[in-house]
Structure 1
Amino acid sequence: MSETAQPDRRRWIGLIFISVAVALIIVDSTIVNVAIPSIVDELGITSTQVQWVQESYTLVFASLLLVFGTLADRFGRRRVLLIGVVVFALASILAALSSSGDLLIASRLVQGVGGAMILPSSLSIINSTFRGKERAIAFAVWGSTIGGMAAVGPLLGGWLTTYFSWRWAFGINVPLGVIIVIGVLVFALESREPGAPGRVDIVGAALSVVLFASLVFGLIEGRTFGWFFSDTPPSFWSFEVSPIPFVFALTLVSLVAFIAWGLRRERAGQSTMLAFGLLRISSFRNGNIAAMIVSLGEFGIILSLPLWLQNVLGYDALQTGLVILALAIGSFVASGFAGAFGNRIAPVLIVQVGIVAEIVGVVMVALSISPEAQWWQIVPGLFVYGFGVGSATAQLTGVVLMDVPVEQSGQGSGTQSTARQVGSALGIAILGTILFASLGAGLTARLDDRPEIPQAVRTQIVDAVVDSAGTAIPGLDAQSPDAAADARAAFSDSTRYAALAAAGFLALGFLATLRLGGAPSAQREQREQREKQQQG
């Protein structure tokens, strides 16, 4: 029995600081969304770089979750979490001091390393520290923190960006990191699994990095380099065929190699990056599929809405944060709902209710989007969406891990976190591509109906609006009010399309949850009996 299984009030206080550590990486992601227009203005980054400011972080994050989940089990969960917080805080300093888009993206890469240490180790600590009903409460606190902080981030980011600088959107992580390190050292107990094998699957780790990196790169750069043929190939490419099909081929080869290598190691009794054995547990397998699809859909609003509010409606960063605060309020209401009914209603049912609320909320927001929209038309949908995020996120983690043996909690939580982050990465890439591709096509079609604007000028306008992620729209008013109106209408349409696509993915996620639930598995019954014996 690990020392964290011993009754200790400190573990509940420690849970608070662990949740704040998770909030640190979640808030940072959402803060950046609100700060993006200011970053574009100051650093002059393109729309592709806008996606990479997010994706560089998410890409590394998803690629390393399995590695650090395994390392946390072997070398100490609290230790890995603390190292992650320190790495994240130091990378935040570099991000705050960045003088170019490339340096900012590089800083985000390092932040991804820190974040990949924090998330699975926090889950593993909770899974090994709390038992029975207490575990459900702990997961509800952890999950509600993700939902709530994902919405509070834009408000904090808006305030910092409006009254100080976008650089403080990263700088705020430093004092928060210091508080987290002190709190975790004082209140969180260390735990590890001494019997776990010491060698890490280096080949599996490398294959997973190549797999996720090539997949996300292809999805993001496809619209820039061309999906099949290329008019604007990268400097390192000299063929008419786009490099993107070859990138996706690399993804497929890496996936096959990763699975074959992992199964071979598993048959030999060696450690693996992905818990292939755990995938035989239906709740774990189906829960991860649902988590990935839901995470993909949940980025339909977070990515595009701040850009639309600021560049089309003319809100500043703080006003944007205040609008999105409705999402946070919905998430906090959901945490109260989960706390009140979490032990009376099946967790799977709460997850399903949450996903339905997300779908309804996203559709409400999509139907409200127009160049003349008012904030009060957007807020109700955001509230409903936030309620869904808080409900689904709080319970889905517990559902995924309910049958996972404690000794494999780090690997199980790493797998679960990877499923979420892969979904998030795909969501940013796919929905970002829908947003900017439909923006370019829609604006081109609208400007083609204005023959008084020369063709060359039309092309320049479209390129400027798309490449700037919409920040060039306000500047068009003085040059061509008609073109500015067309740009606002096209950006509204593309934002609506991205939201509706997100609703579609969320619907698929809901269908995936229909395979969850049912009678307790043999693994769960054995685990519960073992925990009762330990407590007795």
Structure 2
Amino acid sequence: MGVPMPRRWLGLVAVSLGVALIVVDLTIVNVLLAPVIEDLGIDSTEAQWVQESYAIVFAALLLLAGRLSDLYGARRVFLLGLAVFGATSLGAGLAPDGGTLILARFVQGVGGAMILPSSLALVNAAFTGRERGQAFAVWGSTIGAAAAVGPLLGGWLADFSWRWAFGLNIPAVALIALAARLCLPASPRSRGRVDAPSAALSAAGLGLLAFALVEGRTYGWLASVEPLTVGGVTWGGGPSPVLVALVAASAALAVFWRRQSALRRRGAEPLMDVGLFALPSFRNGNAVTLVVGLGEFGIVAVLPLWLQFTLGYSAFEAGLALVALAAGSFVASGAGFSMAATVPPLTQVRLGLGLEAAGLAALGLCAATDSAWWPVAGALFVYGIGVGLATAQVTNVVLAEVPAASAGQGSGIQSASRELGSALGIAVLTTLFFSTLGTSLRDRLTGAGMPDAEAERLSGAVTDSAGAAIPSLADGPGGAEAADAARAAMTTGLQAASYACAGLLLLALAATWSLTPRADGAERKNDPEEGGKNDPEEGEKNGREEGDQRAEPLTAPGNGG
């Protein structure tokens, strides 16, 4: 394929760091939001869009980005995504007002959507056999570590300037792009085009679904509880915009699926080849990926709140506590290297999910209003090892039988499954956490003799502030007791969230038994150097012409993506 193996490993490091950038940018803004609000003078609506615009656009464009990777080469799309990400990071870092920052975050999501599926396709194409399992171990462990490093980095940068959180991306993007260009082989490309109606339907469906999952707790799942303002237009009552978005997303995705099936039957060019779902490893593996996403990172959304407002950690100290998760993920990377020769990827996925569930159950057991740091760190370390193993190798399992010519599409679908699962998991876990917090606090206050109206007011204040109001409770009459009750209620919420995440991961573990041993990462027949024969459409009555599916290997440095 034109690039020596040692250089491919350097290219893998570059790809993994590129993925780390986009994952960090999903989590770092949560910690930086307070100084952003103070510096730019934005209101709560703008602050929310600074947080969520990136994630929504990111999820909306994953399928389209995967298709572009197949048509134009994964390396080319990866490099273009880096360029977009770097340019918009500069715009965000220099933003003079909230509107400019929100716009930069929207376009930054476009760059992130191009980077993730193309990175998967690059790893899948550049490595074969045992090395593929090792490469995915590095790739997956980086995701787990980056999710934990984001809050730490944000807490540290908050002491200087929030603008550095975006400015640091620029030299990183330049180095990653150089390494990827020099060290990774040019990617195969397929003949074809992008079906514009399919692209619009997928972006609308996935974007609306992501919006609904991310914003359900804020605006209400059925009836509006908060006004939504977009472009000067306010949605202030009646059915929740989240409910409308869910209905519209379901309709758009249903029409999208029907169109892909119809295009395939006619021998045309769908944006998403539904024939890939004929592969058991791909179909069942994506279902497992969705459930894994539900349970994996929801806890990261609520754990820093508990660390800060119950245990009294600073933002930096809360981020530092999550380093144990990152350390466990890196340990899993090293273990994955040594296990690749003897332990099948599917077995590693099961081991990882078991360790994740055990770590979260331990976190729930050790959580208390006066928890020491070391049992929390130990639980997160075990959880991190599980994340590193499961996140890496579930991708290897899902893509094990996907043809090289469809690697971008397969990666886009798998990435979308992961992101939507994570968004749904965060929605479920935050709703459970805050509902438990509010109910538990109200019960504790009324049980101590406080009037119902006052207990309702205080529990609402603590819940609406995500716990930030707890320190101020101590200043009022009977404040010490109220603050202690709030900390105990927040701990109950964390315990409920930890046990729920553990249960979801055990459900994902049970779902892995739907995968067959063929998904254990055996050497695929569709590797570029082996002829690309394993097409899921081969032998089907309605299959397209073979030439439409076969990749065109472009190995000359000047021609490939």
- How far off its partner does 1:119 sit? 0.9
- How far off its partner does 1:450 sit? 5.4
- How far off its partner does 1:279 sit? 0.7
Residues 1:260 and 1:295: Cα distance change in structure 2 (over 3 Å): same
**Alpha-carbon contact 1:33-1:302 (below 8 Å) kept:** no
Separation in structure 2 between the aligned mates of residue 525 and residue 490 of structure 1, nearest angstrom: 52
Structure 2 counterpart of 1:219, which letter?
L
- How far off its partner does 1:278 sit? 0.7
Separation in structure 1 between the aligned mates of residue 430 and residue 40 of structure 2, nearest angstrom: 20
Residues 1:398 and 1:329: Cα distance change in structure 2 (over 3 Å): same
Partner of 2:178: 182
Separation in structure 2 between the aligned mates of residue 186 and residue 174 of structure 1, nearest angstrom: 19
- 1:72-103 CA-to-partner distances (Å, cap 9, x unmatched) read 22123222112211222233334445577666
Partner of 1:79: 76
Partner of 1:206: 200
- 1:470-507 CA-to-partner distances (Å, cap 9, x unmatched) read 22222222233333222222222222222222222212
Q: Cα RMSD (Å) of the superposition?
A: 3.0
Separation in structure 1 between the aligned mates of residue 519 and residue 213 of structure 2, nearest angstrom: 39
Partner of 2:109: 112
Q: Choose which of 252, 270, 274 in structure 1 pairs with 2:272.
A: 274
Q: Which structure 2 residues correspond to residues 348-387 of structure 1 after superposition, within 5 A?
A: 348-387=346-385
Structure 2 counterpart of 1:202, which letter?
A
Partner of 1:260: 258
Separation in structure 1 between the aligned mates of residue 421 and residue 48 of structure 2, nearest angstrom: 15
Q: Please, which moves more after superposition, 120-129 or 479-488?
A: 479-488
Q: State the secondary structure of the residue aligned to 1:200.
A: coil
Task: Please state if 1:160 is matched with 2:154.
Answer: no
Q: Please, which moves more after superposition, 415-424 or 497-506?
A: 497-506
- How far off its partner does 1:284 sit? 0.8
- How far off its partner does 1:177 sit? 1.5
Task: Please state if 1:514 is matched with 2:513.
Answer: yes
Residues 1:368 and 1:110: Cα distance change in structure 2 (over 3 Å): farther
Q: Which structure 2 residues correspond to residues 382-531 of structure 1 after superposition, within 5 A?
A: 382-449=380-447, 455=453, 458-479=455-476, 480-519=479-518, 526-527=525-526, 531=530
**Structure 1 residues without counterparts, runs of 5 or longer:** none
**Alpha-carbon contact 2:403-2:527 (below 8 Å) kept:** no
**Structure 2 residues without counterparts, runs of 5 or longer:** 534-561
Residues 1:179 and 1:528: Cα distance change in structure 2 (over 3 Å): closer
- How far off its partner does 1:288 sit? 1.0
Structure 2 counterpart of 1:150, which letter?
A
- How far off its partner does 1:172 sit? 2.1
Structure 1 counterpart of 2:157, which letter?
L
Q: Which structure 2 residues correspond to residues 19-58 of structure 1 after superposition, within 5 A?
A: 19-36=16-33, 53-58=50-55
- 1:256-310 CA-to-partner distances (Å, cap 9, x unmatched) read 2111111111112222232311110001111111111101211232111112111
- How far off its partner does 1:346 sit? 1.1
Partner of 1:137: 134
Separation in structure 1 between the aligned mates of residue 520 and residue 447 of structure 2, nearest angstrom: 62
Structure 2 counterpart of 1:116, which letter?
A
Compute the TM-score of the two structures, normalised by the length of structure 2. Answer: 0.85
Partner of 2:212: 218
- How far off its partner does 1:437 sit? 3.0
**Alpha-carbon contact 2:329-2:387 (below 8 Å) kept:** yes
**Alpha-carbon contact 1:34-1:320 (below 8 Å) kept:** no
- How far off its partner does 1:509 sit? 1.1
**Alpha-carbon contact 1:140-1:395 (below 8 Å) kept:** yes
Separation in structure 2 between the aligned mates of residue 98 and residue 462 of structure 1, nearest angstrom: 36
Structure 1 counterpart of 2:122, which letter?
I
Q: State the secondary structure of the residue aligned to 2:312.
A: coil
Structure 2 counterpart of 1:140, which letter?
A
Partner of 2:123: 126
Q: Choose which of 249, 259, 283 in structure 2 pairs with 1:285.
A: 283
Residues 1:220 and 1:397: Cα distance change in structure 2 (over 3 Å): closer
Separation in structure 2 between the aligned mates of residue 529 and residue 171 of structure 1, nearest angstrom: 38
Separation in structure 2 between the aligned mates of residue 284 and residue 266 of structure 1, nearest angstrom: 18
**Alpha-carbon contact 1:237-1:243 (below 8 Å) kept:** yes
Q: State the secondary structure of the residue aligned to 1:478.
A: coil
Structure 2 counterpart of 1:504, which letter?
G
**Alpha-carbon contact 2:123-2:132 (below 8 Å) kept:** yes
**Alpha-carbon contact 1:55-1:425 (below 8 Å) kept:** no
**Alpha-carbon contact 1:89-1:177 (below 8 Å) kept:** yes
Residues 1:241 and 1:60: Cα distance change in structure 2 (over 3 Å): closer
Q: Choose which of 164, 169, 191 in structure 2 pairs with 1:196.
A: 191
**Alpha-carbon contact 2:59-2:207 (below 8 Å) kept:** no
Q: State the secondary structure of the residue aligned to 2:60.
A: helix
- How far off its partner does 1:333 sit? 1.3
Structure 1 counterpart of 2:161, which letter?
S
**Alpha-carbon contact 2:59-2:419 (below 8 Å) kept:** yes
- How far off its partner does 1:407 sit? 1.2
Q: Choose which of 326, 329, 334 in structure 2 pairs with 1:328.
A: 326
**Alpha-carbon contact 1:96-1:171 (below 8 Å) kept:** yes
Separation in structure 2 between the aligned mates of residue 462 and residue 452 of structure 1, nearest angstrom: 12
Residues 1:434 and 1:520: Cα distance change in structure 2 (over 3 Å): closer
Separation in structure 2 between the aligned mates of residue 248 and residue 307 of structure 1, nearest angstrom: 28
State the identity %.
46
- How far off its partner does 1:51 sit? 6.9
Q: State the secondary structure of the residue aligned to 2:525.
A: helix
Q: State the secondary structure of the residue aligned to 2:145.
A: helix
Structure 2 counterpart of 1:357, which letter?
L
Q: Would you say how many aligned residue pairs link Structure 1 and Structure 2?
A: 527
Separation in structure 2 between the aligned mates of residue 52 and residue 465 of structure 1, nearest angstrom: 22
Compute the TM-score of the two structures, normalised by the length of structure 1. Answer: 0.89
- How far off its partner does 1:71 sit? 0.9
Separation in structure 2 between the aligned mates of residue 396 and residue 333 of structure 1, nearest angstrom: 17
Separation in structure 2 between the aligned mates of residue 113 and residue 477 of structure 1, nearest angstrom: 45
Q: State the secondary structure of the residue aligned to 2:517.
A: coil
Structure 2 counterpart of 1:118, which letter?
I
Separation in structure 2 between the aligned mates of residue 103 and residue 368 of structure 1, nearest angstrom: 44
Q: Please, which moves more after superposition, 286-295 or 230-239?
A: 230-239
- How far off its partner does 1:137 sit? 2.2
Structure 2 counterpart of 1:32, which letter?
V
Partner of 2:546: none
Residues 1:172 and 1:61: Cα distance change in structure 2 (over 3 Å): same
Task: Please state if 1:10 is matched with 2:32.
Answer: no
